Structure 1
Amino acid sequence: MVRFLAALLLLAASATHAAERPSVLLILVDDLGWADVGYNGASYYLTPNIDAFAQRATVFNRSYAMPTCSPSRASLFTGLNSPHTGIYHVEAFGGKGSEQDRRIIPVKSKLYYQQPITMLADSLAEAGYATGYVGKWHVTHDPTHNGFTLNAGGWGKGHPPSYFSPYKNPKLVDGPPGEYLPERLMKESIAFIERNKEQPFFLCYAPYSVHRPLQAREADIQRFKERSKEPARYNPTYAAMIAALDDAFGGVLHAVEELGLAENTVIIFTSDNGVNGLSGDSTPLRGHKGTCYEGGVRVPTMVFWPGHSRAERTDALIDIIDWYPTLLDMTGSGKPDHQLDGRSLVPLLNHETDLVRDAIYCHMPCYNGQPQSKQVWQTPYSAITQSRYKLIYSYETHEAQLYDLENDPGESINMATSYPEIARSLKSELEDWLRANQAPLPRSKDTFQ
């Protein structure tokens, strides 16, 4: 009888703990720039649902990701930085450009993460969470190999063949002809939440929006054509895609509230990199996807954690690798076997500290873009960003760029020659980090001549 009562007490304690654990809704959007949302000053783009959420969330002004999709996503779900994932670019074998365009030999990038490892969803599934993935994956061939039970639309491809059904996506059953992908993924997300409302769940809702190709409903495109005052700068189709993303985001949040789950659900909103330079504009920042200028790596990010986070904006530096340890702490889940490179944001969100890291590092030892295209030809580089200064080191020219982000957030004035001591100090810190993480570096062609 004593053993039976003890077992009952243990089951009751476990049930209570499960009830207290929050569910997690991670919204990971694609190619949405920091300046593409109203709460960061956008006026042409319409994001009323995202902006309303920002009013009650902790908004991170200085949230950073990798410059391109798959490296960011691999880092988020493994908790590892790019030297440890081996994924630097969306292209294998050193990125883009022809051999004659490359003055040095770039590092070979992996196309997918291939090592056996406990990813974020594995950890939460082991802790008893129902796990679901809806939308773009671009980390391995299928998220169900990495801890997710449901997969609706996630595979190795980085962009949708079509935003309208038929989707030509082997992981998403086609809807009626002409069905719009943002609406479909919203419905898939809501259905998962409804099925799992009685237990803690982890849903990653990862819209393909607003990755190219630029495709939207004609009525929405026309609406933004009528609003456009600077057609050379603003693309009405891109604006229509952002509006559809916002509508779908609002639909998922409305479902969470209607189901009575809002007070025990952590909601995180972030993007995997900055705006694509062929789609939009990052002003007042500089650069775009593929670059380590602020427009390429600073991303819109906010979190709502009931009972913990506050409605405020913070300039604390955070990295996309920080979400893995953060969610483990939020949910009380066990740590994986591998060492996480990220840092938990829980002390920051609980106002126990105002700083969790003093620097962000970016290692892109590959080429990006095409020399003759509209997109800037980006040669291999590494960068370190601190609260005030950023240093970018080029492996082709062996020259550094230094920017004062406090006084020049648009990175228009290179101060490397004006402040050589600061440049040397940051370069030394960057080199220390590269060595500590055994980061492979590009090589000179002269080595093989």
Structure 2
Amino acid sequence: MSERPLVTYLIAMRYTLQTPVLLVIALIGCFLPACSPASAAERPNVLFIFLDDFGWRDAGFMGTDYYETPNLDALAAKGMVFTDAYAGAANCAPSRACLLSGQYTPRHQIYNVGTQRRGKKQHGRLMHVPGTDTLSTHIETWAHRVKQAGYRTGTIGKWHLSNDPLPYGFDFNFAGTHSGSPPQGYYPPHGKIAELRDAPKDEYLTRRLSEEAMNFIQRDSSKPWFLYLTHFAVHTPLQGEPGLVKKYQQKPKGKLHNHAVMAAMIEAVDQGVGEIVNAIDEAGQTDNTIFVFTSDNGGYGPATSMDPLKGYKGTYYEGGIREPMFIVWPGVTKPGSKSDVPVVNVDLYPTFCDMTGADLPEQPLDGLSLRPLLAGETPEAFVDRALFWHFPAYLQSYARMDGQRDVLYRSRPCGIIRDGRWKLHEYFEDRSLELYDLRDDVGETTNLAETHPDIRDRLHRKLQQWRQETGAPIPGPNPDFDETSEKQAIEKLMRKINKSNQ
């Protein structure tokens, strides 16, 4: 009897034997040739498209009334859209560190963009926790695991976690440096990015990254590939191709969105996605390619809107951390499906391992594989868990008051927990608590901390326990704090805002 018919026979005998046959199968299965790793042709490729500062409603499938994203919309319709997907932080570097490590910020200790205090040192009652600006090479990324599973790995575009992404599990890097934005804009010259040193003067950076993505996909068919296409777009500087900018200047403005340059930047990304999808299809790989799409943090407040969500990039209200996200996994996801289960970008690490057959690392992971959700199931592990954020630092304001707690800072040192329908903010300067029912108040307009003390205290205990378990630091008193100076700065900014609104 051959090995495979033996397994089939044992499964059939499960209903007639009293012994735990499935256990026997599990024990012998590892020794059977048919259980060896799948061939390159059988393992799926993965295209992970990761945008920068792309807001929750900035795509057609999320409800924009001005931006045009037909290619992203078509892809999203083939898989599952997550309505309650979150970034690991409200701005670039810490969110990306969460993504690559599969860990919340207290574990990798990247808390902000850079390690210097943001804002004037006399404004703010607390010190900041500087943390680090480089992801430790002792942390195994999902790229390490995927590469070890036999994949060809590449990163194209923004990296932001070190000078070079290659030591973090990637075979190939194009344009990834420690820079958090296009060094000198979306047109050449591109500063110290070696791969772009000879870029034609009229070449738009977003187009070039999409072209390099197609080159990577077509380069080698001996292995399955995993491509991390991490666009600089739509990060500042706001700079679109003149023809597309003109198109949107002539287009009627939407009630939600109306920024012509942002629209042009988004369309350039979307057109590139369409070209890459066509290239994958022409290579006969569509049915064997997984598509994952999301963003690193909320949209850029001065140019876009996440309404009805409150906040934007840099705030820990929903508009700063809730992201558009979809996954297309042939044979697993149902076309046109949606999930409102809260998920966060640390979940992508175990999900990528599931997709590629990679082993999980021997290090803490804070996420769960999304495969059950993608298959239409909701295990108790997702129902019972809470999501956490920790920001022991300061982030300067856009000089506005809608969507942030005060005019000086988009966010001050804080901790956040989402547990089911409930979300609790804790602000460390004054220990104030804000409680919101996201099911009935997704815009976080009504603080229920005083009217629902039992829920407030339960979530607060969970948040404190999580901080203790992860060693999350809380900053101490700031000896340079000047209350009078801070008050005067607030009043000055408020006068400026009121004048501009007149």
For 2:235, the aligned partner's letter is: H
For 2:352, the aligned partner's letter is: L
For 1:365, the aligned partner's letter is: P
Establish whether residue 342 from structure 1 lines up as the match of residue 367 from structure 2.
Answer: yes
Structure 2 gaps, min length 5: 1-30, 482-502
Shift of 1:367: 0.3
Map 1:360-399 → 2, pairs under 5 A? 360-370=387-397, 372=399, 377=409, 378-399=411-432
Hey, what does 2:229 align to over in structure 1?
Answer: 205
Maintained 8 Å contact 2:413/2:428: yes
Maintained 8 Å contact 1:78/1:119: yes
Name the CA distance, whole Å, in 2 between partners of 1:355 and 1:10.
33
Establish whether residue 290 from structure 1 lines up as the match of residue 321 from structure 2.
Answer: no
The CA deviation string for residues 374-425 of structure 1, in whole angstroms up to 9 with x for no partner, is: 7851211110112311110001121111111111111111111121221111
Shift of 1:117: 2.3
Match for residue 324 of structure 1 among 343, 346, 349 = 349
For 2:332, the aligned partner's letter is: H
Q: Which secondary structure does the structure 1 equivalent of 2:57 belong to? A: helix
Instruction: Tell me: CA distance 1:283–1:302, structure 2 relative to 1, closer, same or farther (3 Å).
Output: same
- How many correspondences in the alignment? 440
Maintained 8 Å contact 1:155/1:171: no
Match for residue 166 of structure 2 among 144, 152, 176 = 144
Maintained 8 Å contact 2:166/2:172: yes
Establish whether residue 439 from structure 1 lines up as the match of residue 472 from structure 2.
Answer: yes
Match for residue 288 of structure 2 among 264, 271, 275 = 264
Shift of 1:111: 1.2
Map 1:66-81 → 2, pairs under 5 A? 66-81=89-104
Hey, what does 2:10 align to over in structure 1?
Answer: none
Residue identity (%): 39
The CA deviation string for residues 338-377 of structure 1, in whole angstroms up to 9 with x for no partner, is: 1222111122223343564332111111101148567851
Instruction: Tell me: CA distance 1:308–1:434, structure 2 relative to 1, closer, same or farther (3 Å).
Output: same
Q: Normalising by the residue count of structure 1, what TM-score does the alignment of the two structures yield?
A: 0.93
Name the CA distance, whole Å, in 1 between partners of 2:418 and 2:128.
23
Match for residue 438 of structure 2 among 405, 408, 412 = 405
Deviates more, 1:412-421 or 1:28-37: 412-421
Hey, what does 1:181 align to over in structure 2?
Answer: 205
Maintained 8 Å contact 1:35/1:284: no
Structure 1 gaps, min length 5: 1-8
Hey, what does 2:448 align to over in structure 1?
Answer: 415
Instruction: Tell me: CA distance 1:34–1:193, structure 2 relative to 1, closer, same or farther (3 Å).
Output: same
Hey, what does 1:86 align to over in structure 2?
Answer: 109
Hey, what does 2:333 align to over in structure 1?
Answer: 309
Deviates more, 1:377-386 or 1:162-171: 162-171
Q: Which secondary structure does the structure 2 equivalent of 1:84 belong to? A: helix
Q: Which secondary structure does the structure 2 equivalent of 1:266 belong to? A: strand
For 1:77, the aligned partner's letter is: L
Q: Which secondary structure does the structure 2 equivalent of 1:351 belong to? A: coil
CA radius of gyration, larger in: 2
Maintained 8 Å contact 1:38/1:51: yes
Maintained 8 Å contact 1:135/1:153: yes
Name the CA distance, whole Å, in 1 between partners of 2:396 and 2:365.
31
Instruction: Tell me: CA distance 1:63–1:288, structure 2 relative to 1, closer, same or farther (3 Å).
Output: same
Q: Which secondary structure does the structure 2 equivalent of 1:382 belong to? A: strand
Maintained 8 Å contact 2:65/2:254: no
Shift of 1:265: 1.2
Name the CA distance, whole Å, in 2 between partners of 1:366 and 1:254.
44
Instruction: Tell me: CA distance 1:343–1:337, structure 2 relative to 1, closer, same or farther (3 Å).
Output: same
Shift of 1:447: 12
Map 1:12-161 → 2, pairs under 5 A? 16-65=38-87, 66-93=89-116, 95-160=117-182, 161=184
The CA deviation string for residues 198-227 of structure 1, in whole angstroms up to 9 with x for no partner, is: 421111011110000000111211111122
Maintained 8 Å contact 1:153/1:169: no
Name the CA distance, whole Å, in 2 between partners of 1:194 and 1:321.
29
Q: Which secondary structure does the structure 2 equivalent of 1:250 belong to? A: helix
Instruction: Tell me: CA distance 1:199–1:405, structure 2 relative to 1, closer, same or farther (3 Å).
Output: same
Following TM superposition, where does structure 1 have runs of at least 4 consecutive aligned residues deviating by more than 4 angstroms?
A: 9-16, 230-233, 371-376
Shift of 1:67: 0.4
Maintained 8 Å contact 1:389/1:405: yes
Hey, what does 1:351 align to over in structure 2?
Answer: 376
The CA deviation string for residues 11-49 of structure 1, in whole angstroms up to 9 with x for no partner, is: 997574433211111111111000111111111111111
Instruction: Tell me: CA distance 1:398–1:202, structure 2 relative to 1, closer, same or farther (3 Å).
Output: same
The CA deviation string for residues 95-126 of structure 1, in whole angstroms up to 9 with x for no partner, is: 41111112111211311113422211111111
Deviates more, 1:29-38 or 1:189-198: 189-198
The CA deviation string for residues 306-325 of structure 1, in whole angstroms up to 9 with x for no partner, is: 10111201101111011111
Instruction: Tell me: CA distance 1:348–1:18, structure 2 relative to 1, closer, same or farther (3 Å).
Output: same
Establish whether residue 163 from structure 1 lines up as the match of residue 169 from structure 2.
Answer: no
Maintained 8 Å contact 1:59/1:302: yes
Q: Normalising by the residue count of structure 2, what TM-score does the alignment of the two structures yield?
A: 0.83
Name the CA distance, whole Å, in 2 between partners of 1:259 and 1:371.
45
Instruction: Tell me: CA distance 1:285–1:189, structure 2 relative to 1, closer, same or farther (3 Å).
Output: same
For 1:226, the aligned partner's letter is: Q
Instruction: Tell me: CA distance 1:136–1:98, structure 2 relative to 1, closer, same or farther (3 Å).
Output: same
